[in-house]
Amino acid sequence: MSVPVSPIDILLVEDDPGDVLMTREAFEHHKIHNALFVVSDGVEALQFLRRQGPHTDVPRPGLILLDLNLPKKDGREVLAEIKADPELLAIPVVVLTTSEAEEDILRSYDLHANAYVTKPVDFERFVEVVRQIDDFFVTVVKLPR
């Protein structure tokens, strides 16, 4: 018998509107009940996480899906700042990007990413990847609240 899982808040840091739409559709398709918040650049991501500017009343996310190639502040810089901040470092960060470059993978793990996932270009596969991330980080793994 499975124990019901409490929904978590997920922050998607993604500048590509098509990828944002596919992620939202993946959530709807799999009836994922987690709240999805979206920001489109690295500066806004850090404002959201630190509850600054227009984000003073947002919840602290339980999971971050982070693209690497972002405007204003690159995803690698965002990851480094998250993992250097004692208030944020416990939040799991999944790098979700198109890059398959070994240097990006190594650098992300050096910066303490919790996982590195290359975005599939095929919609059905993308939906499945988002479902698997959700299953693992929300259902399987025990996260701090």
**pLDDT mean over 91-108:** 90
Q: Helices 102-110 & 75-84, crossing angle to 10 degrees?
A: 20
Q: What is the pLDDT of residues 110-124, one digit of tens each?
A: 999 999 998 888 888
Q: List Cβ neighbours of 112 (8 Å cut-off, separation of 6 or more).
A: 79, 83, 89, 93
Residue with tokens 């050096």: 110
Give the up-direction half-sphere exposure of residue 138: CA atoms within 13 A in the CB hemisphere.
Answer: 23
Q: How confident is the model at residue 126 (pLDDT cuts 50, 70, 90)?
A: confident
Position 5 confidence tier, pLDDT thresholds 50, 70, 90: low
- With H, G, I as helix, E, B as strand and everything else as coil, classify residue 55: helix
Dist CA 41 CA 48 (whole Å)? 11
What is the predicted pLDDT for the residue at 108? 93
The predicted structure's pLDDT at residue 132: 84
Taking the model in full, what pTM does it have? Answer: 0.88
Task: Tell me the pLDDT band of 18, cut-offs 50, 70 and 90.
Answer: confident
Predicted confidence at residue 84, as pLDDT, reads 95
Beta-bridge partners for 64: 11, 93
pLDDT tens figures, 22-63? 888 887 776 666 788 999 999 999 999 999 989 999 999 988
CATH code assigned to 9-135? 3.40.50.2300
What is the average pLDDT value for the chain, to the nearest integer? 86
Count H helices, E strands: the chain? 5, 5
Domain ranges in the chain are 9-135
Residue 129 pLDDT grade (very low, low, confident, very high; cuts 50, 70, 90): confident
